[in-house]
């Protein structure tokens, strides 16, 4: 119920030396009070502060201005009901659609028209704007309208998603790691149908999406050094130990090379060290398109063994709510996860974990990653350009025919479901399908990971394993009893490809490569090196 403050006594001209009351204000009563009395008063003018009595007995109660239900004082209309002229305490008028008891009366509804719609028979369309005045602008104004509406300037330390969009995504340099999605403290960034980050609600200009992007504000070579520490055990740096290894179980036939990644995850799950592992699975709709998947059982790990050569926006899928049905019944903050990803994804999650900021829906997932496994990587591919254009359109290899993809010794290999080779071709012929941002990466061996696994440096059916941290050593020791392993066969092959990858990165990077420089690169510094637009948020971006 709406309530009103007590009514203060109305002012009269007597207070100014006149005996005449002010217009529309009741006379002062015999007891010295004035204005509508509270409920229970003998005065008929109001039984409540919010209205006027309609009781016939009250209407003739000693007041010759209201007789036979007819009010002549202005408080009632000619029908005896309360007049709109009877003011209430907040300056409004009494409600017109309620009775004297405050009850809502009968309401008559008008039935909507049936079968009547916009006439589209004469060339119109349902979304056509009609009756637009001449010269009226009907399109949504661009972001620059802000400057037309007020004189407030953006603070110098603000960096918006529009900067990331301009410098990285629009320039084709996005590596689809998903770090920007995970970093956003307001869940303003989502994943579009094209697999790229996009703004889904208002940006606050906090700069975190820019700061943590490995192709934007994150100086990834500095992250190696910070992660490594001085002893090279707590993070990236000189390996603790290196092996060539393979799984001897029958399920290895579906795995990549020696199946070591799957073995590490299975043993961590069985030992209760992790509750789940974020890996890649094949899309139900598009063959050989990778999607993020949380494996929580050894069977799920085995079913999804193997490699895909396109990104999954992995760090954008750390919202544990979507995996609720697969996770154990305990607080998300108490969960432990493993993350398998490319070196850039490992750099991103390591940087995020270094700060105690709240990452909104992704926060528990980011904090829950305790084991990181990097896959040796020189480049990754755009799914449509690799599978749709290069393999299917140009080489007549249907995605449904492919049983296995592999990149080894500088060649792209494609096999069918029976293991028969369909293609062996120089990887350089597929360069147009690669993600442009991969050219700038100098991290072939995943410096920031606990364990790095790949094929370079080991013979067929073996995986090369580089253990870099104590967590990585713990994972290795769980799996080692079930592995066939020995010292890494060819360290020079690994080092040679790492050097080649770094050389290419130095040619593609348009900023200085400096492990001793600050971790975060200001957008203005990026603009100076890359020539991208300064302050794109002030234009119609």
The DSSP secondary-structure symbol of 168 reads: I
Tell me if 200 is assigned to some domain: yes
Tell me if 461 is assigned to some domain: yes
What are the φ and ψ backbone dihedral angles of 125, each rounded to 5 degrees? -140, 160
Q: Which domain holds residue 207?
A: 155-217+529-538
User: Do 244 and 210 share a structural domain?
Assistant: no
Rounded (10°) CA dihedral 100, 103, 105, 109 = 150
Question: What confidence score (pLDDT) does residue 39 get?
Answer: 41
- Is 60 exceeded by the pLDDT of residue 459? yes
User: Do 420 and 291 share a structural domain?
Assistant: yes
Query: What residues does 419 pair with on adjacent strands?
Result: none
Tell me if 27 is assigned to some domain: no
CATH of the domain at 178: 3.30.70.20
User: Do 381 and 361 share a structural domain?
Assistant: yes
Question: What confidence score (pLDDT) does residue 94 get?
Answer: 60
User: Do 261 and 212 share a structural domain?
Assistant: no
∠ CA 39-41-46, nearest 5°, is 60
User: Do 200 and 249 share a structural domain?
Assistant: no
Question: What confidence score (pLDDT) does residue 103 get?
Answer: 76
Query: What residues does 463 pair with on adjacent strands?
Result: 245
Distances (CA, A) of 482 to 250, 263, 472: 12, 8, 16
User: Do 365 and 508 share a structural domain?
Assistant: yes
User: Do 343 and 395 share a structural domain?
Assistant: yes
Contact indicator for 169, 197 with CB cutoff of 8 Å: yes
- Is 60 exceeded by the pLDDT of residue 259? yes
Give percent of the chain with pLDDT exceeding 90. 59
Rounded (10°) CA dihedral 231, 233, 239, 244 = 160
Q: Which two tokens mark 146?
A: 């802000």
Distances (CA, A) of 50 to 7, 43, 75, 80, 496: 10, 15, 12, 17, 88
User: Do 481 and 340 share a structural domain?
Assistant: yes
Tell me if 48 is assigned to some domain: no
Average the pLDDT over 167-185 and give the result. 97
Distance, in Å, from the CA atom of 533 to the CA atom of 541, rounded to the nearest integer, reads 10
Q: Please, which contacts does 172-175 make with residues 24 or more away whose CB atoms are closer than 8 Å?
A: 172/436, 172/437, 173/215, 173/436, 173/437, 173/440, 174/215, 174/435, 174/437, 175/214, 175/215, 175/311, 175/342, 175/344, 175/380, 175/435, 175/437, 175/438, 175/441
Contact indicator for 327, 334 with CB cutoff of 8 Å: no
- Domains in the chain: how many in total? 2
User: Do 163 and 269 share a structural domain?
Assistant: no
Question: What confidence score (pLDDT) does residue 122 get?
Answer: 54
Tell me if 265 is assigned to some domain: yes
Distance, in Å, from the CA atom of 486 to the CA atom of 245, rounded to the nearest integer, reads 7
Distances (CA, A) of 233 to 146, 444, 472, 537: 51, 19, 10, 43
* Mean pLDDT for all residues in the chain: 81
User: Do 416 and 378 share a structural domain?
Assistant: yes
Kindly give, in sequence order, each residue whose CB lies less than 8 Å from that of residue 53, ignoring residues fewer than 6 positions away.
Answer: 44, 45, 46, 47, 59, 100
Question: What confidence score (pLDDT) does residue 257 get?
Answer: 75
User: Do 255 and 167 share a structural domain?
Assistant: no
- Is 80 exceeded by the pLDDT of residue 129? no
The DSSP secondary-structure symbol of 47 reads: S
Tell me if 390 is assigned to some domain: yes
Tell me if 303 is assigned to some domain: yes
Closest CA to 313 of 185, 166, 217, 181: 181
Distance, in Å, from the CA atom of 274 to the CA atom of 474, rounded to the nearest integer, reads 12
Question: What confidence score (pLDDT) does residue 534 get?
Answer: 84
pLDDT digits (tens, 9 = 90+) for 39-96: 444 443 433 334 444 444 444 444 444 445 455 454 444 454 544 444 454 555 566 6
User: Do 198 and 245 share a structural domain?
Assistant: no
pLDDT digits (tens, 9 = 90+) for 380-409: 999 999 999 999 999 999 999 999 888 888
Please give, one letter per residue, the 3-state secondary structure of 296-330: CCHHHHHHCCCCCCECCCHHHHCCHHHHHHHCCCC
pLDDT digits (tens, 9 = 90+) for 303-357: 998 888 999 999 999 999 999 999 999 999 999 999 999 999 999 999 999 999 9
Q: How confident is the model at residue 235 (pLDDT cuts 50, 70, 90)?
A: very low
Tell me if 447 is assigned to some domain: yes
Question: What confidence score (pLDDT) does residue 139 get?
Answer: 62
Question: What confidence score (pLDDT) does residue 50 get?
Answer: 41
What are the φ and ψ backbone dihedral angles of 426, each rounded to 5 degrees? -55, 130
Distance, in Å, from the CA atom of 507 to the CA atom of 513, rounded to the nearest integer, reads 11
């Amino acid at each position: 119920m709406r309530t009103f403050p007590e009514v203060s006594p109305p002012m009269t001209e007597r207070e100014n030396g006149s005996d005449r009351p002010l217009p529309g204000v009741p006379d002062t009563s015999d007891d010295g009070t004035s204005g509508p009395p509270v409920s229970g008063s003998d005065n008929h003018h109001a039984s409540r502060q919010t209205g006027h009595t309609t009781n016939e007995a009250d209407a003739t109660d000693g007041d010759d201005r209201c007789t036979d239900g007819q009010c002549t004082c202005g408080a009632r209309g000619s029908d005896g009901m309360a007049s709109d002229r009877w003011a209430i305490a907040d300056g409004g008028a009494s409600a017109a659609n309620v009775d004297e008891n405050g009850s809502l009366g009968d309401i008559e509804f008008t039935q909507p028209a049936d079968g009547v719609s916009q006439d589209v028979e004469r060339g119109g369309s349902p979304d056509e704007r009609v009756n637009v005045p001449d010269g009226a602008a009907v399109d949504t104004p661009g972001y620059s309208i802000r400057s037309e509406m007020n004189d407030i300037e953006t603070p110098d330390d603000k960096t918006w998603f529009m900067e990331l969009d301009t410098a990285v995504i629009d320039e084709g340099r996005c590596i689809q790691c998903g770090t920007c999605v995970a970093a956003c403290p307001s869940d303003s960034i989502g994943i579009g149908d094209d697999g790229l980050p996009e703004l889904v609600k208002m940006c606050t200009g906090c700069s975190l999406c820019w700061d943590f992007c490995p192709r934007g504000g994150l100086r990834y070579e500095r992250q190696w050094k910070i992660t490594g520490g001085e002893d090279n055990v707590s993070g990236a740096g000189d390996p603790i130990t290196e092996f060539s290894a393979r799984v001897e179980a029958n399920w290895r036939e579906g795995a990549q090379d020696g199946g070591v990644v799957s073995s590490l995850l299975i043993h961590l799950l069985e030992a209760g060290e992790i509750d789940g592992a974020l890996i890649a699975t094949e899309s139900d709709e598009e063959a050989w398109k990778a999607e993020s998947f949380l494996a929580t059982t050894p069977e799920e790990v085995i079913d999804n063994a193997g490699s895909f050569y396109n990104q999954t926006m992995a760090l954008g899928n750390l919202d544990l709510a979507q995996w609720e049905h697969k996770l154990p019944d305990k607080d998300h903050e108490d969960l432990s996860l493993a993350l398998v990803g490319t070196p850039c994804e490992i750099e991103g999650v390591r940087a995020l974990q270094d700060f105690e900021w709240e990452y909104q829906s992704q926060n528990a997932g980011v904090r829950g990653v305790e084991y990181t496994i990097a896959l040796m990587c020189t480049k990754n591919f755009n799914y449509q350009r690799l599978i749709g254009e290069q393999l299917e359109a140009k080489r007549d290899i249907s995605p449904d025919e492919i049983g296995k993809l592999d990149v080894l010794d500088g060649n792209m290999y494609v096999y069918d479901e029976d293991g028969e080779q369909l293609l062996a071709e120089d990887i350089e012929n597929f360069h147009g399908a690669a993600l442009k941002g991969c050219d700038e990466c100098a991290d072939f061996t995943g410096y920031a990971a606990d364990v790095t696994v790949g094929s370079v440096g080991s013979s067929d059916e073996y995986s090369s394993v580089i253990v870099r941290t104590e967590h990585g050593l713990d994972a290795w020791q769980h799996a080692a009893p079930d592995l066939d392993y020995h010292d890494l066969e060819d360290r020079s092959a690994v080092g040679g490809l790492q050097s080649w990858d770094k050389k290419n990165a130095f040619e593609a990077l348009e900023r200085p490569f400096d492990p001793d420089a600050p971790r975060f690169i200001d957008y203005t510094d990026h603009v100076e090196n890359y020539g991208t637009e300064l302050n794109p948020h002030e234009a119609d971006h």
